[in-house]
Amino acid sequence: MKNNRYLYLIVLGYFLLGLVNIHFALLGLVCMSIPLILLFKNTQKTWCQGYCPRASLLNKVGKSRLGRSKASPKFFSRGNMKWIMLIYFGISLTFITISTLRVASAGVAPMEMLRLLIVIPLPFDMPQLIELSGMASWLTHLSYRFYSMMLTTTLIGLTLSLLYKPRTWCSVCPISTISSQYISQKTKKNQAFE
Ligand code: SF4
């Protein structure tokens, strides 16, 4: 199955919607859930093989660069980089969850700024074309944190696609690592019952 070449518009739309109002960033939860739902249903990387908007964006950007793309370093394709990214992903989700719970339960002020790699603040405020009144502060906090995580991983993916093969990010993408582990465990289990 080929990845649709226009799916990258969904990624661009996602980041643009964040400029309309940051709460649209919560749509990222849907993007994160669908690959896992498809994985548990089919025991295949259905999302990666045909529906991933980020893969479409990486292809688009990577293939439009000038010059020949280099093969990705072995550290990415066969080394520990995928585990490092998985750990980053786990730490990031833990941080998002704990800080959102603190805002919701302890009345801590929401962090209304973007941060790359969890800790690096971006030196500008997100323009907000539409202000929504009455939103719970923890939802605002969660939205900024989610947008930050999506932005971080997209920027890493784009940088890799410009330096190496367009889909180098896919070799270290946490969704891919989780999927591979799940499929391998499931296959082993099925073989044990045969
Ligand atoms: S590995 Fe990640 S970025 Fe690549 S296709 Fe799968 S989900 Fe998308």
- Ordered by start, the domain boundaries in the chain are 8-193
Looking at residue 3, what is its pLDDT? Answer: 60
C-alpha of residue 81 to centroid of ligand 1, in Å: 15
Assess whether the C-beta atom of 52 lies below 6 angstroms from ligand 1: yes
Q: What are phi and psi of 175, to 5 degrees?
A: -65, -40
Ligand 1 within 6 A of CB of 173: yes
pTM above 0.85, yes or no: yes
Q: Whose CA is nearest to atom 5 of ligand 1?
A: 48
What does the pLDDT average to over 122-129?
Answer: 95
- Tell me: pLDDT of 53 over 90: yes
What number is the average pLDDT over the span 15-37?
Answer: 96
* pLDDT of amino acid 90: 97
Q: What are the angstrom distances between the C-alpha of 87 and each of 60, 83, 93, 139, 193?
A: 28, 6, 10, 25, 32
pLDDT at 70: 82
Q: Tell me which H or E stretch contains 55.
A: helix 53-64
User: In the predicted model, what is the mean pLDDT of residues 152-178?
Assistant: 95
Mutate to test the pocket of ligand 1, among 33, 52, 82, 180 (most ligand atoms within 8 A of CB): 52
Ligand 1 neighbourhood includes 176 CB (under 6 angstroms): yes
How many CA atoms, within 13 angstroms, populate the side-chain half-sphere of residue 99? 20
Q: Ligand 1 within 6 A of 54 CB?
A: yes
Portion of the chain with pLDDT greater than 70, in percent: 98
Helix (H) or strand (E) run with residue 120 in it: strand 120-121
Task: Give yes or no for residue 89 CB within 6 A of ligand 1.
Answer: no
Residue 121 vs residue 3, higher pLDDT: 121
